[in-house]
């Protein structure tokens, strides 16, 4: 079974104009049983209970803490993640761990 950290939004519509229909990005593969993945997963579970439920608020703060503590994203990838958070703020952001076969 594979595990991915997903960043997404719910979509946004205003006055019958659809700005975004909702997007999901798998931003981190947590499948490999490495020390860094175990540490990130433990951090997400201990601080945000992300193994049981998605995070619906303070998503950017959580992502910043992951990067600050574990440095798992390249500078360019993290910048793209931050841009996504800025662009889709009105959509309602979420962060979750998704399990796939």
Query: 38-97: per-residue pLDDT in tens?
Result: 999 999 999 999 989 999 999 999 999 999 999 999 999 999 999 999 999 999 999 999
Bridge partners, residue 26, by sequence: 6
The DSSP-derived string for the chain is -EEEEEEEE--EEETTEEEE--EEEEEEE--S--HHHHHHHHHHHHHH-TTTS-B-SSHHHHHHHHHHHH--S-HHHHHHHHHHHHHTGGG-EEEEEEEE-
> pLDDT band at residue 101, thresholds of 50, 70 and 90?
confident
- Could you report the per-residue pLDDT of 21-44, keeping only the tens digit for each? 999 999 999 999 899 999 999 999
Q: What is the pLDDT of residue 25?
A: 97
Q: What is the pLDDT of residue 36?
A: 94
Q: What is the pLDDT of residue 51?
A: 87
Query: In 10 A of CB 4, how many CB atoms?
Result: 17
As a whole number of angstroms, the distance between CA 1 and CA 33 comes to 12
């Amino acid at each position: 079974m594979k595990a991915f950290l997903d960043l997404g939004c719910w979509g946004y519509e205003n006055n019958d104009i659809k700005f975004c229909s909702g997007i999901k990005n798998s931003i981190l593969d947590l499948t490999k049983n490495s020390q860094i993945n175990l540490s990130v997963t433990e951090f997400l579970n201990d601080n945000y209970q992300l193994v049981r439920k998605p995070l619906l608020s303070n998503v950017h703060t959580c992502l910043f803490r992951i990067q600050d503590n574990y440095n798992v994203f390249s500078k360019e990838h993290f910048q793209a993640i931050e841009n996504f958070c800025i662009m889709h703020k009105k959509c309602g952001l979420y962060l979750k761990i998704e399990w796939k076969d």
